[in-house]
Amino acid sequence: MSQSSRLDHDAYLVQPGKKIRLKDYATDFTGEFRNKADAKEALREDVAELAAAQDLLWASKEHALIIILQALDAAGKDSIIKHVMSGVNPQGVNVYSFKAPTEEERLHHFLWRPMRVLPPRGLIAIFNRSYYEEVLIVRVHPRFLENQWLPSDPREKDLKKLWQLRYDEIKAFEKELSGQNLQLLKFFLHISKKEQRKRFLKRLDEPDKNWKFSADDIRERKFWNEYQEAYEDMLNATSTEWAPWHIIPADKKWFARACVADIITAAIARLDLRYPVPSETERAELAEARRELERGADD
């Protein structure tokens, strides 16, 4: 039985057109899983299903998949990628981290970056952060707009109009992708401020985790409330029927991993993929290949 039945996916879905408040979503919710062991078993089964589904995705060449992971620092994006995608063929998956844009990228429209790395049919792309940073970190720190290409000078206008314009452009962009058989799965890893503090301290306490810590993490933490507001507005504005958002409780890493894996596996299953059926010409070529091999069985 498919493990998609373990969780009620609608519980994590931001329903298009319905306004949500992040404070209404518990960060430590663990759904139908009784404990960590239960979630790990579900993850193991989903990883196996995902590996089989990826093989179908690759063979059929009918659809592509983009998985978007957005979150505040220490919410577990890297952990999700490591554990959920552990069983897939690395040749069929590309991971892109959307860090600060380069000079060349700043001179283009903000959607130029994702356009350059869209996966062809048959492949999966994972965006570790994404073009949504342009309505998140740039909104919290509008000074980043100074070096960007813009249709007009936002310093002379209400910035709310700029964010709304970007929301609209993102929705149109994603609708076009959806129409081209490119499935988007968007996840916001919802972590509490208390749990983030705990994970930051762990990075400082454990020498082998020091490399994960940055002074910028503490500076950004001071804008917690501003980020919550930016995320809430973004989720409300850009969760659509063709590319809805999922809010994943992230205080328990074991739950977040199992939940994301469950949703991804179920989404690919709904594509109802099939292995390609050989044409009459291809079947004839296969038959000839068999005869050739059988004639020279011992070479």
pLDDT digits (tens, 9 = 90+) for 17-56: 999 999 999 999 998 888 899 999 999 999 999 999 899 9
> In angstroms, rounded to a whole number, what is the distance separating the alpha carbons of residues 200 and 114?
30
Give the per-residue pLDDT at 267.
Answer: 92
Enter the tokens of residue 206.
Answer: 């454990």
Residues of the chain scoring pLDDT < 70:
1-5, 152-157, 297-299
Burial 161-188 (b: 16+ CB within 10 A, else e): ebbeebbebbbebbeebeeeebbbbbbb
CA distance 53 to 67: 15
Helices and strands of the chain, counted as H and E runs? 11, 5
Closest to 241 in 3D by CA, of 168, 190, 181, 184? 184
SS3 182: strand
Give me the pLDDT at residue 191, please: 98
What does the pLDDT look like over 32-42, one tens digit per residue? 888 899 999 99
Residue with tokens 């959307």, as numbered in its chain = 98
Q: Please state, in angstroms and rounded to a whole number, the distance separating the CA atoms of residues 108 and 102.
A: 10
Query: Closest Cα partner for 97 from 138, 130, 71, 68?
Result: 130
Residue type, 102: T
pTM for the full predicted model: 0.91
